[in-house]
Structure 1
Amino acid sequence: MRRHAHGQRGVAAVEFALVCGVFFTLLLGVVEMGRLLWTWNAATEATRLGARVAAVCDLNEPHIKTQMIGRLPSLTASNIVVTYLNPPAADNTCTISTCKAVRVSLTGYEYEAIIPFVPLTLDLPAFTTTLRREHMQSSGNSVCS
């Protein structure tokens, strides 16, 4: 009996190492998937916020991009495109009185995973939100300050 117990020494450590490796890999995958979904949702909300600010503030207000970067800090101004839409005109310009809508897009955004020893970067699709023009004037507007 004593001889049999001596042959089993260390088996628990080996089993623990095998189960622990699988468990922590699964746990890290779940955490990383949660981070990806959070980033996806934050990118969507950032475009919605940017469109809302653009619909009520002056044309090309710098506060639009600042608000979006505040919502998703890893954004850069080069990822954000603000387009003012107006009825067909010969010169294709947009003023406060002629703009009909605003479109805010987030393009070229990359998600970087934090999995150790696995450099993983995913290109997220473009996020776009279009809203009808509202006030489009920053003076006296608390949203634009």
Structure 2
Amino acid sequence: MNIPPLMQKPRSRQSGVAAVEFGLIATLLFLLSLGIIEFGRFMYVWNTTQEITRHAAREAAVRNFDADSIDAIQRGAIFSADTTGDVAVPGGPEIASTNVVIRYLNADGVPATPMPDNPEDNIAACLDVDRAASCIRYVEASVCMDDGDCTPVPYQPLIGLFPFLAIDIPRSTVIMPAESLGYRI
């Protein structure tokens, strides 16, 4: 069946406009959605960093301070207690167990030097006035680069569209009074 030319719709110069408009709007919508996801991940990493320092400080206050215990505290703080080696936070590869820095401080708030050999030796150092610099009174846990200066860990955006989000994760530090440090009666 042929439609007479006068009854046909005239061809419009508007064909394909909807597809172009959708492409422009969809690009902005996807950018906005990805930006919201990336910002949410940044907030997750920041909040997780706070929890990591609280957990590490609490564990360090009650556990032994030998190298194996410190390594276990670092891994446990980032929710990977039953693993070995350097592990990272789930969903936050920027924060690894090596970024959890634990320091044992004396009464003046400076690192205890020389460090006691074991928890019993720490008690003896705390009772001896001449060894007060060796007495561990506080435990400090930080999440930072273990470079001596404890510089903040840089955030690494997962989506390459947002390089301006490559900022430092705010440094997190928790200081708690030392408790048993693993001493057993």
Scaled by the length of structure 1, what TM-score is found? 0.80
Deviates more, 1:128-137 or 1:72-81: 72-81
Q: How many residues align?
A: 138
1:127 CA displacement = 1.1
Corresponding residue of 1:8: 14
1:69 is displaced (CA, Å) by: 3.2
Q: What are the residue-to-residue correspondences of 1:83-98 with 2, within 5 Å?
A: 83-87=103-107, 92-95=113-116, 96-97=122-123, 98=135
| 137, 160, 163: which one aligns with 1:100 | 137
**Within 2, Cα distance between the matches of 1:15 and 1:37?**
33
Shift of 1:2: 2.2
Aligned-residue sequence identity (percent) comes to 32
Shift of 1:116: 4.1
Structure 1 stretch displaced more, 21-30 or 97-106: 97-106
Instruction: Please give the secondary structure, in 2, of the residue aligned with 1:70.
Output: coil
Partners of 2:169 and 2:26 in 1: CA distance: 32
* Structure 1 residue 64, shift from structure 2 partner: 1.2
Q: Check if 1:42 corresponds to 2:48.
A: yes
Structure-2-length-normalised TM-score: 0.64
Structure number with greater Rg is: 2
Tell me the residue number matched to 1:76: 96
Amino acid at match of 2:114: T
Q: Tell me which protein shows more helix as a share of its residues.
A: 1
- Name the structure 2 match of 1:33: 39
Contact 1:86-1:94 within 8 A present in 2 as well: no
Amino acid at match of 1:115: I
Partner of 1:114: 158
SS in 2 for 1:63: helix
Change (3 A) 1:139 1:111: farther
* Letter of the structure 2 residue corresponding to residue 86 of structure 1: N
Partner of 1:131: 176
Q: d(CA) in 2 for partners of 1:40 and 1:77? A: 15
Structure 2: runs of 5 or more not aligned: 1-7, 81-88, 117-121, 124-134, 146-152
In the TM superposition, residue 103 of structure 1 has moved relative to its aligned partner by: 0.3
Distance 2:183 2:29 in 1: 53
Conserved in 2, the CA contact under 8 Å of 1:58 and 1:136?
yes
Over aligned residue pairs, what C-alpha RMSD do you find? Answer: 2.6
